[in-house]
């Protein structure tokens, strides 16, 4: 039986460690902390379920998009488009079931396979620095709000977290001080609120130098336009599990089975590059055109901005997925 080390106890590392341990493999999970917590929006498109069930805190059907303070588009779906999950609870419940070592280094001589799942923390790619706050407010709204500012590449978000609590965040490529931006945004957006928790973290948006023996965000599996990395990271863990349990070449198997996701991530990177090189007026035109298009918004919300994904959105809208 192979001895396997997984470095990094986030989404992909903890999930893979749980899957392998549950199948009888000798697995050790290495992480700098005993408990997991990395702040994010905690939303996942409602098109995926992991093999280890997570708690769903909220179902999101309603969305609104703002540009430079102006509400320019809103949409409601008949069925939940996004779900809000208890990400820390899900990950920590898996970590409780595996052998853990509080460290970020594994002695490779003691293991047959060492897998890198430690997220963006090698800093070998472009990242965006995000901050998110959980706020308690009587101005609670069940809409997911994304607010864009043409001066920067990124957005503010307001997501329902649970009844009476909102997840409010900010992340912009050109401005690393997302904390100050977020606090000013909250102050201007809400009259009555209480900050329950405030934390920041880097999120990958650029490609990594090497993908060898890497899964999840360590591999660069974050959609750069939306910042969503939970689902692709979880999927990469499932594929890594298949590679190991079926005796496949790890890197080749992951590369082949992640082709669609990695292609969609690369498309988003190219779109971001075009946007960043554009003038303020051109950015405003591009965003207004994009955000007022039912099909493109639908594809964006599920991170499927390629030809196949756009066709799926066309079919879904045609058959009445949107409430008018």
Domain boundaries, the chain: 3-323
- Tens digits of per-residue pLDDT, 153-183? 999 999 999 999 999 999 999 888 999 999 9
Query: 323 falls in which pLDDT band (50, 70, 90)?
Result: confident
> How large a percentage of the chain has pLDDT more than 90?
90
Query: 219 falls in which pLDDT band (50, 70, 90)?
Result: very high
- Residue 53 confidence (pLDDT) above 70: yes
> How large a percentage of the chain has pLDDT more than 70?
99
CATH number for the domain running over 3-323 = 3.50.50.60
- Distant-in-sequence contacts of 288-293, Cβ < 8 A, 24+ apart: 288/67, 288/72, 291/65, 291/67, 291/72, 291/73, 291/148, 292/72, 292/73
Measured CA to CA in angstroms, residue 103 lies from 81, 219, 238 at distances of 38, 20, 24
Beta-sheet strand order (sheet of 99-102): 99-102, 26-31, 3-7, 113-116
């Amino acid at each position: 039986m192979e001895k396997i080390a997984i470095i990094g106890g986030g989404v992909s590392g903890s999930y893979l460690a749980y899957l392998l341990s549950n199948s009888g493999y000798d697995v050790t999970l290495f992480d700098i902390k005993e408990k997991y917590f990395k702040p994010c929006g905690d939303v996942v498109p409602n098109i995926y379920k992991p093999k280890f069930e997570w708690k769903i805190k909220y179902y999101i059907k309603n969305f609104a998009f703002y540009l430079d303070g102006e509400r320019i588009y809103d949409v409601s779906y008949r069925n939940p488009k996004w779900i809000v999950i208890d990400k820390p609870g899900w990950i920590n419940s898996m970590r409780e079931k595996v052998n853990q070592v509080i460290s970020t280094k594994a002695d490779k001589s003691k293991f047959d396979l060492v897998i890198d799942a430690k997220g963006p923390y090698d800093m070998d790619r472009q990242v965006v620095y995000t901050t998110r706050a959980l706020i308690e407010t009587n101005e609670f709204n069940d809409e997911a709000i994304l607010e864009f500012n043409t001066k920067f590449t990124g957005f503010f978000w307001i997501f329902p977290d649970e009844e009476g609590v909102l997840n409010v965040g900010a992340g912009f490529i050109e401005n690393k001080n997302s904390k100050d931006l977020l606090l000013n945004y909250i102050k201007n957006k809400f009259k009555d609120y209480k900050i329950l928790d405030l934390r920041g973290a880097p999120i990958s948006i650029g490609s990594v130098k090497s993908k060898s023996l890497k899964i999840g965000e360590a591999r660069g599996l974050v959609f750069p336009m939306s910042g969503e990395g939970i689902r692709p990271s979880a999927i990469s863990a499932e594929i890594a599990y298949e590679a190991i349990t079926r005796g496949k070449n790890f890197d080749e198997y992951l590369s082949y089975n992640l082709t669609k996701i990695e292609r969609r991530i690369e498309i988003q990177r190219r779109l971001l590059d075009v946007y960043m090189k554009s003038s303020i007026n051109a950015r405003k035109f591009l965003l207004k055109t994009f955000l007022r298009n039912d099909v493109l918004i639908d594809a964006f919300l599920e991170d499927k901005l390629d030809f196949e994904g756009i066709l799926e959105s066309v079919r879904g809208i045609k058959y009445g997925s949107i409430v008018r």
